[in-house]
Amino acid sequence: MITKNAEANLYQLVYISERYRADGDQVINDIKLQAESNNQKLNITGALLFNDRYFLQYIEGEFNAINSLYNTICNDPRHNNVRLLLRKEIAERDFSRWSLGVKKLLDTEENQDLLSLLSMLGQAKSVSESQLDWFKLALK
């Protein structure tokens, strides 16, 4: 867990990508195990929301660290069509409790709005920060 004390050069990055079709949910466990170890060393926090088609991830940390991680993700074969949705300086972390929190967005009646929004974000040319706030609430 990362403390919420004021940190200099703190940024949040949000991306969406399409999951590689052949990957099952076991790949999520692999990502989580690898990310927890790496993220703690780099003082990165965040959360990953996913369904059968998309990954949507919030990454928080020092500017160079999160950009380096994003570049690694862009070259990871488990991700297709990676798109940066937001990069902004932040005063404090939203996901300070997790080196990588993970949540599967199940196809249930209560998740239909989020599933529709995730599908829309996956195809949209631009995204507003307020649209992303729905996912932040789902992850907390």
pLDDT digits (tens, 9 = 90+) for 29-50: 888 888 888 999 999 999 998 8
pTM equals 0.84
In CATH, the number for domain 10-139 is 3.30.70.100
Query: What residue type is 71 in one-letter code?
Result: N
Among residues 104, 123, 2, 6, the alpha carbon closest in space to that of 55 is found at: 104
What residues does each domain of the chain span?
Answer: 10-139
- pLDDT single digits (tens) 101-114: 888 887 778 778 88
Question: Of 138, 123, 105, nearest to 28 (Cα)?
Answer: 105
Euclidean distance between CA atoms 66 and 10, whole angstroms: 10
